[in-house]
Each structure stands twice: as structure tokens, then as C-alpha cells.
Amino acid sequence: MRIMMIQPNYHAGGAEIAGNWPPSWVAYVGGSLKEAGYDNIRFVDAMTNDIPDDALRTLIQRNKPDVVLATAITPMIYKAQHTLKIVKELNPNTHTILGGVHPTFMYTEILNEAPWVDYIVRGEGEEIAVNLMRSIEAGSDKKDRYEIKGLAFLDENGRTVATEAHPVIANLDTLMPDWSLLEWDKYIYVPMNVRVAVPNFARGCPFTCRFCSQWKFWRKYRARSPKHFVDEIETLVKDHNIGFFILADEEPSINKKKFIALCQELIDRKLNIPWGINTRVTDILRDEKELPFYRKAGLFHVSLGTEAAAQMNLNRFRKQTTIEQNKYAVKLLKDNGMFAEVQFIMGLENETPETIEETYNLAMDWKPDMTNWNMYTPWPFAELFEELGDRVEVRDYSKYNFVSPIIQPDSMDREDVLRGVLKNYARFYMHKSFLDYPFVRDPFKRKYAMGCLRAFAQTTVTKRFYDLGRVSPTGEIDLGFDESRVLTRNQIADLKAVRPDLKADITYGGAIPVGIDMDEVKLQLEENALNVPLTEEEIAKNAALEQGGDQALSAGA
Ligand code: B12
Ligand code: SF4
């Protein structure tokens, strides 16, 4: 069986500015296919190599794959669909398989738009891909497919079929990623000018933020054994010469015992590699005493989900944090020699020039090393969409990329939100360039900060940063939405009435509840946080926060 895996050629101008990043799904899904005996796998990174469609067509034609696998996050979906269309045009007998976050929830819409996609794999791909591949190899997939868990496809009558959800992978130590499928010289992290990897230590998140899709995607929080994980890091360092890694995880540190063991394992093996994580502010506060130890283990860049400048929005997001906690977490990280990054979610319907200014003032007050202003993106399968859906007129998913204002605020234009955010970036990084980074005492941190600045500067000049190409020299902005995918409120209502089936499968085929099951949240926190189970009082406080959020939401809408 000739298998080809393709990373579709989509670019957004956000995190990509820091370099080229290896697509982890290729190593994880490809690794499990190899373990199952499929060793004729070719990976084509059309994104990193910026491969245009005609060149991709030639590549596929030359390789004559039997099966092609592609991935898709939401903004990449049209590119992924088109990629698989090319495959089918070249040879209708080639099997096309699509996986990733967006297809997991949006399979009906995708199969309706792109009937050339033979199979959609919903959720974690490692086990499902092997089951499906075995059946394709045996030539019995048309018959077996109803029994293979975690699939969606069109049946002979063109109806969408979604099979029962595949159980989550109970033991993540069964993962056998194969990083040798990637062309390593391509994956350079600009701030350090070294190879970068994005390995996966833990999957899922026990929290339930209302704008977020990731806790739903992975369903249950699980972490690998630190030894198994550090074996992988050792391979990445020794075989592929990586000089930096960022965990792919949503929430790597909630299971404190495992996180400490992971750090110890890195220290014991003397790998001496700096690394980064995205994590929750509350974990940093909880681990105040352990931060020097984490730093000793190489943890350096910590990106915090701070999200909002107003408590009302934090409550509305069900973030379960406070503004004061955000500020203190930044201080703790900096005091411990780490590089602190914060994130703001911008462009909700209640955004005003004043609230944009407020985020700038907070960033200046907290003094993080790095700030990102991300546009709110209404994933159609996240809880907040359920409330905002009727005002989400822009359904052009290619712009669901954190750098495009999707929601029309009540009292300002989308373009002005973008202008405000760009102004914040300009002011903040101007300050960093002249009054902060050059004076950082720690030489390692100073070099890293100056490297980040280089990444910003290079991509500002090439207009890749925040998709600056859409801003004309005179300040005019063309957001570039595909007008055929911008709906009026009436059209949204009609679509809902006529094709209710096209909406997201928000319950994951019944595998996750529609509302929030606080008992389940409590259980997952208890299982993983070990030393910090939620108290009855905290549960009650969270429920109150949630109610406050709902009120804020109806007040804002
Ligand atoms: C690393 C990362 C990146 C890297 C991408 C590296 C790369 N080359 O792919 C960088 C930094 C470049 C990046 C950029 C962006 N990212 Co990003 N990124 C992540 C992050 C942190 C980890 C992703 C990861 O590697 N996970 C681990 C792997 C193993 O999981 P996975 O990819 O989901 O794959 C599993 C399954 O989905 C499935 N699967 C996936 N594909 C396929 C295909 C087949 C055929 C099969 C069978 C199975 C399968 O099997 C895999 C194993 O179980 C996630 C957040 C998170 N913690 O998950 C965000 C995330 C994926 N990014 C996101 C976004 C929006 C973006 C940007 C648009 C943001 C921006 N403006 O910068 C850009 C888009 C860039 C682009 N060109 O596409 C969103 C997507 C949300 C959504 N609903 O689609 C996420 C979830 C973050 C979030 N806050 O919501 N990102
Ligand atoms: S803590 Fe982060 S990953 Fe978890 S639900 Fe909230 S935003 Fe999503």
C-alpha cells in the first residue's frame, strides 16, 4: 500500500511568523501506521514548502498513492478539501481520508461540500487510521465501514453516516510517533535559529472554556508517563538534532505529579534543551514554589491563556481565573527567569476602542515579555457559538484564523478592531525594542527576546505578520472575505431551517454531553490535579461565575 500524508498549504500570519513548525499529526498517525506494518509512507508538507496546487498535482501523479491522508484545522478546511479533490481527479480509485479538529465536528457540512472525501476520521487518529487502513487493504472497506468506530462518510445514497465515536486512547504510552517521516532541516524556530519539535505529552483539558474547542476534541484528559515521553525527546534531540520544543498540549501541567516527574526525567538525562508550554494561569500560581525547578529542567517560554482585560469577559468565557491572578502569574514567571507570553481575545460584539486600549494598558501594566492580540474566532462547535451563531455572518472559514475580525461589534467596524489591534502591537513591541529587550540581564533570555523581535520585524517587512498584506499604504483594509460565504441574518435563519443537519456535531455523536457536566469536570480535576481537587466551595464559586457569565452574555448580545 502506497500511503501519502499531506499537510495542506494554508498560511495565516499568526504563530507561523516564528518559523516553520513540524506537523505533529504526521508523526503520531504515521507512527501508528508504521507500527501496524505500513511502511511505504511519503509525507508532503505543502504548507512549509509552500507547494502550489499544480506542483502538488505533479507530485501526487508521480507517486501514485493508493491512499492519501490530509489534515484540517478550521481555517485550512477549504485547502484540505481542494487537496483531496486533486487526488480524486488524478485517480478516482485512490482513497481519500481527512482528519483533524474541524472535520471531527463538521463532517456533514464537509461531505456535502466535498463528496470526493471518502472517509473522515473523527478524533484521535492513531487507532482509527490503522483500523481503516486494514480494511482498505483487504478491499472490504465499503462493507466494514459501518462497523469501524470514529468514521464519517457518504453511503451509496449520498447520505452522511457517522459511526459510533471511537473510545479515547486510554493509555497514551501506546503512542509510537515516527518523527523520521519529516524533513528536519526545514523546521527552524526563528527566535533561536534551531530545529523545533512539537511533541505531545498530554491530551485534553479538564476545563471547559466556552470559546474553546480543544477540551471537546480530546474528550478526556490524559498524560503519558514521563519516561515514555522523555524517550521521545531524547530521540528528537539525538536523531533529529532539535534545539527547542514546545509541547503540543492544551494543559500540560494540571497533573502536577507527572509534570514534576517529567522535569526530573529531563534533568536526569542531561538533555539540556530549552522548551515551552501553553498553560493555565492557575497552574503557575499553584506551582509557585516549583517554578525554579521547572526552569532548571529547561522550561523557558510559557504562554498563558490570560484571554481578557475585563473580569466580565473571563467569567463569560468560563475561564475560572481573575485579572489579578493573570498579573501575578506573569510576575512569577519573570521572577523565575522565564519568558512570559500573554494572550488577549479581541473582537467580540462588545468590543469598543476603549476596551482595545484597556488591553494595551494591561499589557503595559503586567509587563509580560510577549503579548498576542488574537481575534475571537467562533468555532461552530464551541459553546459560545451556540449563543452568538445568529450574528456570525462571516462563514468563510479560511478567515477563522485569529488574525481576522469575524464578529461585527455593536459599536465599531471590524476594520477598526483590526486597526486598534495593530496599533497595540506597534506600540507594545516598539517599547520592547527600545526600552526592554536590549536591557534584559540574562544573556540567554535577551538573545531569545531579540530573536522574537527579529521574527516580528522580518514578517512585518514581508507583510506576513497578521496578514498585513491586506492593509494598503494609505491604511485602507480589505478583509478579503469570500462574499458567497457571508450570510445575512435571514439567510442564517433559512439555512438553520432548511439544512439543520449541516450544523456541527457538538456532542461528538453523543460521546460528550451538550451542557457542562460539573461532576465530570470535578472528577477529571481530581484524577489529574492530584493535590488540588476542587472543593465544594470552589465548585459553587464556579457555578456562580458561570451564571454571571450567562448574564453578561445576554446583556452583551
Ligand atoms: C502546534 C500548533 C500550531 C503550529 C502548527 C504546526 C503544524 N505544522 O501543523 C503553528 C504554530 C504553526 C500553528 C499555527 C496556527 N494554528 Co495552531 N496549534 C498548534 C497546537 C498548539 C498543537 C497542535 C498539535 O500539534 N497537536 C498535536 C497533534 C497530535 O494533534 P492534532 O494535530 O489534532 O492531530 C491528531 C488528531 O486531530 C488526528 N488527526 C489530525 N489530522 C489528521 C489527519 C488524518 C488523515 C487522520 C487519520 C487523523 C488526523 O490525529 C492526530 C493524533 O491523534 C494546537 C493547540 C493544541 N494544543 O492542540 C493549535 C491549534 C491547532 N491551532 C489553531 C489555529 C487556529 C492556528 C492558526 C490559524 C493560528 C494563527 N493565526 O497562528 C495557525 C494556522 C497555521 C496554518 N498554516 O495552518 C487552533 C485550531 C482550532 C480549530 N478549531 O481548528 C488550535 C486548536 C489552537 C486553539 N486555540 O484552538 N499552530
Ligand atoms: S483552559 Fe485552555 S485548553 Fe482548557 S478549555 Fe480553557 S482555553 Fe481550552
In three-state form (DSSP H/G/I as H, E/B as E, the rest C), the secondary structure along 380-405 is CCCHHHHHHHHHCCECCHHHCCCCCC
Residue 194: phi, psi to the nearest 5?
A: -135, 165
Domains of the chain with CATH codes = 3-162 (3.40.50.280), 187-455 (3.20.20.70)
pLDDT at 534: 43
How far apart (Å, rounded) are the C-alpha atoms in residues 131 and 129? Answer: 6
Which position has the grid cell 504526521? 26
Residue 535 has pLDDT above 60, yes or no: no
Q: Is 209 in the pocket of ligand 2 (CB under 6 A)?
A: yes
Angle, nearest 10°, between helix axes 353-366 and 323-335? 30
Of all ligands present, the nearest one to the C-alpha of 129 is: 1
Beta carbons of 539 and 522 less than 8 angstroms apart = yes
Q: Is 290 in the pocket of ligand 1 (CB under 6 A)?
A: no
User: Which residue lies with its CA nearest to atom 9 of ligand 1?
Assistant: 23
- Distances in Å between the alpha carbon of 360 and those of 10, 42, 408, 468? 30, 46, 21, 20
Q: Is 374 in the pocket of ligand 2 (CB under 6 A)?
A: no
**pLDDT tens per residue across span 487-519:** 999 999 999 999 999 999 988 887 776 655 666
Distance from Cα 490 to the centre of ligand 1, integer Å:
33
Query: How many residues does the structure list for the chain?
Result: 557
Distance from Cα 74 to the centre of ligand 1, integer Å:
9
- Exposure on the CB side of residue 279, measured as CA atoms within 13 A: 27
Which residue pairs from 430-433 have beta carbons closer than 8 angstroms and sit at least 24 positions apart in sequence?
431/364, 432/369
How far apart (Å, rounded) are the C-alpha atoms in residues 212 and 460? Answer: 28
DSSP for 509-553 reads TTTS-SS--HHHHHHHHHHHHSS-PPPHHHHHHHHHHHHHHHHHH
325-339, 422-436, 497-511, 530-544: range with lowest mean pLDDT:
530-544
Which of 24, 29, 73, 96, when mutated, tests ligand 1's pocket best, judged by the most ligand atoms within 8 Å of its CB? 73
Of all ligands present, the nearest one to the C-alpha of 218 is: 1
* Alpha helix segments (H runs only) across 252-340: 256-268, 281-286, 291-296, 311-316, 323-335
Q: Is 396 in the pocket of ligand 1 (CB under 6 A)?
A: no
User: Which residue lies with its CA nearest to atom 8 of ligand 2?
Assistant: 212
Distance from Cα 512 to the centre of ligand 2, integer Å:
16
**pLDDT tens per residue across span 473-494:** 999 999 999 999 999 999 999 9
Which of 178, 182, 171, 174 lies closest to 39, judged by CA? 178
**pLDDT tens per residue across span 12-71:** 989 999 999 999 999 999 999 999 999 999 999 999 999 999 999 999 999 999 999 999
- Distances in Å between the alpha carbon of 546 and those of 208, 378, 391, 467? 11, 19, 22, 35
- Whether the full predicted model's pTM is greater than 0.85, yes or no, is yes
Which of 9, 11, 101, 210, when mutated, tests ligand 1's pocket best, judged by the most ligand atoms within 8 Å of its CB? 101
Return the percentage of the chain with pLDDT > 90, whole number. Answer: 86
